[in-house]
């Protein structure tokens, strides 16, 4: 099955509210725990979270790494509004800040001591732009961790995943999940993107039936 793009930004109020209200605790905490597992010596510095959505991962990162600052970047104004509110409620506004900006437009290079991104890449029309920007943003010798969905082999297989993991979710969330699976990349496509960008030190791991993770140090 070929990739079917979905809109790049999540700006629709109902869509944003459904996404922010969903329970991604296990997935998001698993992502943060994986970062600590892959990079056990990383304890200080400035982390970027690209496509941070409603801010749950930046909050979890700030709690797990108390000597770190986190900047969440998302070009959706409604997402950033919710993220700012969540961080204020968590009492973490001193260490977690947000920028409403496309990652493609972030100025400058070598700014981050680590870059993370969960569930952004499938929104991006040209994935090479993402890997290129990631490499520019992170300081040489710094860790990166990227996670996203795997594209299933057929629309029927995508529907089966939605039915298995989001049976009781609101319709808007089920529709977004289905569209995201169709817009996602396969393991082979990610491997070839990394090769084209000369990022072969980053390793891909397929961690379950619907997610891949790429991690490593950028030199």
What residues are paired with 113 via a beta bridge? none
The least CB distance from residue 108 to ligand SAM, in Å, is 16
What tokens were used for 149?
Answer: 């969905």
- Comparing CA positions, the residue from 137, 110, 107, 143 lying closest to residue 32 is 143
Tokens 């600590």 correspond to: 36
CB atoms within 10 A of CB 163: 11
73: helix, coil or strand? strand
Identify which of residues 23 and 41 has a Cβ nearer to ligand SAM in the complex.
23
Output the smallest distance, CB 62 to ligand SAM, in A: 15
Residue 85 CB, shortest distance to ligand SAM, in Å, is 15
Q: 41 or 169: whose CB is closer to ligand SAM? A: 169
Q: Which of 142, 218, 141, 148 is nearest to 181 (CA)?
A: 148
Are the C-beta atoms of residues 49 and 58 closer than 8 Å to each other?
A: yes
CA contacts within 13 A on the Cβ side of 67: 6
Applying CB under 6 A, which residues contact ligand SAM?
8-10, 24, 51-53, 56-57, 73-76, 79, 102-104, 118-120, 123-124
> How do 211-218 and 142-149 pair as beta strands?
antiparallel
Nearer to ligand SAM, 60 or 69 (CB): 60
Q: Output 56 or 113, the one with its CB closest to ligand SAM.
A: 56
Report which residue's Cβ sits closest to ligand SAM: 53
Q: By C-beta, is 95 or 133 nearer to ligand SAM?
A: 133
Q: How far is the CB of 75 from ligand SAM (least distance, A)?
A: 4
Residue 46 vs 99, nearer CB to ligand SAM: 99
Please report how close the Cβ of residue 56 comes to ligand SAM at its closest, in angstroms: 6
CB of 54 to ligand SAM, least distance (A): 7
Cα separation, 128 vs 194, whole angstroms? 8
From the list 151, 158, 144, 149, the residue with the least C-alpha distance to 199 is 144
């Amino acid at each position: 099955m070929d990739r079917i793009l979905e809109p790049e930004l999540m700006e629709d109020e109902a869509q944003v509210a459904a996404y922010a209200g969903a329970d991604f605790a296990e997935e998001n905490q698993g992502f943060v725990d994986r970062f600590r597992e892959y990079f056990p010596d990383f304890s200080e510095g400035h982390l970027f979270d690209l496509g941070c959505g409603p801010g749950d991962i930046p909050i979890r990162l700030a709690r797990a790494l108390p000597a770190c600052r986190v900047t969440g970047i998302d070009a959706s104004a409604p997402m950033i509004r919710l993220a700012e509110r969540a961080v204020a409620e968590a009492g973490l506004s001193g260490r977690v800040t947000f920028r409403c900006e496309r990652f493609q437009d972030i100025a400058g290079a070598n700014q981050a001591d680590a870059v993370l991104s969960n569930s952004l890449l499938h929104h991006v029309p040209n994935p090479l732009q993402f890997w290129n920007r990631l490499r520019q943003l992170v300081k040489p010798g710094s860790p990166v961790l990227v996670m996203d969905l795997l594209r299933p082999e057929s629309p029927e297989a995508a529907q089966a995943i939605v039915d298995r993991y989001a049976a009781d979710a609101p319709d808007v969330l089920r529709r977004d999940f289905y569209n995201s699976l169709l817009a996602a990349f396969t393991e082979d496509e990610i491997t070839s993107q990394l090769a084209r960008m000369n990022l072969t030190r980053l390793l891909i791991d397929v961690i379950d039936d619907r997610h891949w993770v790429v991690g490593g140090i950028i030199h």
